[in-house]
Amino acid sequence: MRLNESGKTSSVTRGTIRAVAEELFAENGIHGVTTRALAEKAGVNMAAVNYHFGNKDNLTMAVFRDVARRSVQRRLDNLARIEAEAEARGVSPSLKDTVEAFVDAYVNEDTPRTGVLLAHLVLQHRVRPTEWTRAIVQEELDDFALSYMEALRRAAPHLAENVLHWRYHFMVGAVMMSLSDQTSDGRMRRLSGGLCDPENRVEFKAQMVSFLVDSFGQPETAEIRMAHADP
Amino acid sequence: MRLNESGKTSSVTRGTIRAVAEELFAENGIHGVTTRALAEKAGVNMAAVNYHFGNKDNLTMAVFRDVARRSVQRRLDNLARIEAEAEARGVSPSLKDTVEAFVDAYVNEDTPRTGVLLAHLVLQHRVRPTEWTRAIVQEELDDFALSYMEALRRAAPHLAENVLHWRYHFMVGAVMMSLSDQTSDGRMRRLSGGLCDPENRVEFKAQMVSFLVDSFGQPETAEIRMAHADP
DNA sequence: AAAATATTCAAACATACGTTTCAATCATGC
DNA sequence: GCATGATTGAAACGTATGTTTGAATATTTT
Q: What is the CATH number of the domain that holds A42?
A: 1.10.10.60
What percent of chain A is modeled with pLDDT above 90?
Answer: 86
Provide the pLDDT for residue A223: 56
B64 and B45 inside one domain:
no
Q: Which residue is nearest to nucleotide D5 (CA to C1')?
A: A1
A contact residues 82-121, partner B, Cβ 8 Å cutoff: 119-120
Instruction: Give first-to-last CA distance, chain A, whole Å.
Output: 59
A111 and A190 inside one domain:
yes
B34 and B129 inside one domain:
no
By the CB < 8 Å criterion, does B127 face chain A?
yes
Q: How far is CA B7 from the centre of its chain?
A: 29
B34 and B108 inside one domain:
no
What percent of chain B is modeled with pLDDT above 90?
Answer: 86
| B184 → chain A, closest CA residue | A126
pLDDT mean over A25-39? 96
Are A123 and B123 a contacting pair, CB within 8 Å?
Answer: yes
Query: SS3 of A92, please?
Result: coil
Provide the pLDDT for residue B5: 45
Nucleotide nearest to B2 (CA to C1'): C6
B96 and B47 inside one domain:
no
Residue B32 above 70 pLDDT? Answer: yes
Distance from CA of A222 to the nearest CA of B (A): 11
B-chain residues within 8 Å CB-CB of A224? Answer: 203, 206-207, 210
A81/A93 Cα distance (integer angstroms): 10
A172 and A123 inside one domain:
yes
A128 and A27 inside one domain:
no
CATH of the domain at A186: 1.10.357.10
Provide the pLDDT for residue A10: 61
A69 and A133 inside one domain:
yes
Are A177 and B127 a contacting pair, CB within 8 Å?
Answer: no
Segment among A60-64, A103-107, B139-143, B222-226 with least mean pLDDT: B222-226
Provide the pLDDT for residue A226: 54
Q: Across the interface, which of A127, A149, A231 has its CB nearest the CB of B120? A: A127
Domain boundary among B17, B32, B54: B54
- Residue B40: which domain range? 1-54
What type of residue is B114?
Answer: T
A35/A46 Cα distance (integer angstroms): 6
Q: Which residue, among A160, A151, A67, A122, has the nearest Cα to B195 in the 3D structure?
A: A160
Model confidence over A203-230: pLDDT tens digits?
999 999 999 999 988 765 555 555 555 4
Provide the pLDDT for residue B1: 47
Q: Which residue, among A73, A70, A83, A151, has the nearest Cα to A114 in the 3D structure?
A: A70
A139: which DSSP letter? Answer: I
Residue A22: half-sphere exposure toward Cβ, Cα within 13 Å: 18
Distance from CA of A27 to the nearest CA of B (A): 10
Q: Which residue is nearest to nucleotide D10 (CA to C1')?
A: A45
Residue B151 above 50 pLDDT? Answer: yes
Provide the pLDDT for residue A155: 95
B95 and B181 inside one domain:
yes
Model confidence over A154-197: pLDDT tens digits?
999 999 999 999 999 999 999 999 999 998 889 999 999 999 99
Is any atom of strand D within 7 angstroms of residue A13's beta carbon? yes
B203/A91 Cα distance (integer angstroms): 34
Do residue A180 and residue B126 have CB atoms under 8 angstroms apart? yes
Full DSSP string of chain B: --B-TTS-B--HHHHHHHHHHHHHHHHH-GGG--HHHHHHHHTS-HHHHHHHHSSHHHHHHHHHHHHHHHHHHHHHHHHHHHHHHHHHTTSPPPHHHHHHHHHHHHH-SSSTTHHHHHHHHHHHHHHS--HHHHHHIIIIIHHHHHHHHHHHHHH-TTS-HHHHHHHHHHHHHHHHHHHHHTTTT-HHHHHTTTS--TT-HHHHHHHHHHHHHHHHTSPPPHHHHHHHH--
Do residue B169 and residue A181 have CB atoms under 8 angstroms apart? yes
Q: Across the interface, which of B124, B166, B178 has its CB nearest the CB of A169? A: B178
By the CB < 8 Å criterion, does A14 face chain B?
no
B44 and B87 inside one domain:
no
Average pLDDT of chain B, as a whole number? 92
| B197 → chain A, closest CA residue | A166
Are A176 and A123 a contacting pair, CB within 8 Å?
Answer: yes
A39 and A118 inside one domain:
no
Domain boundary among A39, A54, A69: A54
A156-180 burial code (b ≥16 CB/10 A, e <16): beebeebbbbbbbbbbbbbbbbbbb
B104/B12 Cα distance (integer angstroms): 32
Domain boundary among B39, B54, B69: B54
Exposed/middle/buried for residue B219 (C-beta within 10 Å: 0-12, 13-18, 19+): exposed
- The number of residues making up chain B comes to 231
Q: For residue B9, which phi and psi values (nearest 5 degrees)?
A: -65, 150
Residue A8 above 50 pLDDT? Answer: no
B44 and B64 inside one domain:
no
Are B113 and A116 a contacting pair, CB within 8 Å?
Answer: no
How many structural domains are present in chain B? Answer: 2
A-chain residues within 8 Å CB-CB of B192? Answer: 161-162, 165
Residue B7 above 50 pLDDT? Answer: no
